């Protein structure tokens, strides 16, 4: 069994400080959280940015750049920037969503398929997937293919069959998010069964489903994602003090299950990534 990659999504677009004061808003807070997580065992950090004053999710390129620069100055964690762009209005949404790609992170998320997400529609129209895949290939960025339901798996397979993604593939199974697939053991098995045999895959579980989903992910030979984007609690009624606290928990879980935690270098080798970290 290969080593387990731990990804950490340190801020996301949803949780606010009124729910957990440790949620990072500013580029410095977000970068510091990622750096701290790298020190305790995370190999990849998934980054959203927020308006530094209000904490509301945004997609300003200068904020992404500041976060990336701060992280690369201090550690070699693999940087994964979101292109979800759910906050972007207007007619040129695809181009604006793809702006973070020009910063040449090692990975960018690529959401496949539309869905209802709370009280809004998370829109990923048919033209989005091919456009994003081609732009990421142009800049040497690995797509993290994010899927929220079994139908999304079929759409992802279509894009794979069209030759839009380079091997090795990296797929993120998002369980229990919005009105996507429910986070149950049976559903995770069904999702994993649809994966291309050679794909590397990771699983996340939202809220209280985080622990059972990442436990199953480890046992099934996959990789795992934790972090405030998905869950702000250590256990029922106990808020996490930091993203790093959950990474430490995940590291201990991997080791208790007789597996080995991947370093950033391990993750780069497994996923075929270019090393763009500034540190030595």
Burial of 198 per CB tally in 10 Å (0-12, 13-18, 19+): exposed
- CATH architecture for the domain at 6-271: Alpha-Beta Barrel (3.20)
Query: What stretches of the chain show up as alpha helix (H) in DSSP?
Result: 27-40, 61-74, 93-97, 128-138, 150-161, 185-193, 210-219, 243-256, 264-271
Residues 110/132, Cβ–Cβ less than 8 Å: yes
Question: Prior bond to 168 cis, omega within 30?
Answer: yes
Burial 24-60 (b: 16+ CB within 10 A, else e): bbbbebbbbbbbbbbebbbbbbbbbbbebeebebbbe
- The Cα 237–Cα 235 span in angstroms is 6
Q: What is the pLDDT along the chain (280 residues), one digit of tens a residue?
A: 789 999 999 999 889 999 999 999 999 999 999 999 999 999 999 999 999 999 999 999 999 999 999 999 999 999 999 999 877 776 789 999 999 999 999 999 999 999 998 788 999 999 999 999 999 999 999 999 999 999 999 999 999 999 999 999 999 999 999 899 999 999 999 999 999 988 999 999 999 999 999 999 999 999 999 999 999 999 999 999 999 999 999 999 999 999 999 999 999 999 999 777 765 4
pLDDT given at position 280: 44
The residue extents of the domains of the chain are 6-271
- The Cα 227–Cα 231 span in angstroms is 6
Q: Helix, strand or coil for residue 36?
A: helix
Which pair of structure tokens corresponds to residue 7?
A: 């990804």
- The Cα 164–Cα 235 span in angstroms is 40
Tell me the pTM: 0.96
Q: Which residues sit opposite 225 in a β-bridge?
A: 7
């Amino acid at each position: 069994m290969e080593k387990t990659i731990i990804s950490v999504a340190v801020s996301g677009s949803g949780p606010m400080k009124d729910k957990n004061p440790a949620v990072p808003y500013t580029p410095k807070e977000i970068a510091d959280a990622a750096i701290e997580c790298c020190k305790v065992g995370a190999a990849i950090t998934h980054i959203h940015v927020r308006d530094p004053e209000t904490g509301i999710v945004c997609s300003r390129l200068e904020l992404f750049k500041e976060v990336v620069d701060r992280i690369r100055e201090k550690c070699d964690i693999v940087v994964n920037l979101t292109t979800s762009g759910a906050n972007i209005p207007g007619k040129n949404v695809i181009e604006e969503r793809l702006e973070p790609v020009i910063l040449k992170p090692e990975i960018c998320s690529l959401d496949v398929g539309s869905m209802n997400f709370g009280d809004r529609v998370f829109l990923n129209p048919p033209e989005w997937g091919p456009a994003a895949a081609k732009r990421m290939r142009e800049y040497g960025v690995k797509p993290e293919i994010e899927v929220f339901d079994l139908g999304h798996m079929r759409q992802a397979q279509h894009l794979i069959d069209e030759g839009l993604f380079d091997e090795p593939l990296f797929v993120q199974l998002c369980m229990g998010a919005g009105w996507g697939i429910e986070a149950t053991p049976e559903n995770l098995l069904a999702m994993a069964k649809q994966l291309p045999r050679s794909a590397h895959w990771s699983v996340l579980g939202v809220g209280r489903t985080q622990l059972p989903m990442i436990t199953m992910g480890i046992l099934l030979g996959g990789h795992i994602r934790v972090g405030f984007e998905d869950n702000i609690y250590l256990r029922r009624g106990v808020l996490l003090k930091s993203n790093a606290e959950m990474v430490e928990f995940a590291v201990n879980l991997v080791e208790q299950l007789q597996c080995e935690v991947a370093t950033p270098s391990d993750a780069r080798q497994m996923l075929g990534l270019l090393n763009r970290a500034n540190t030595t």
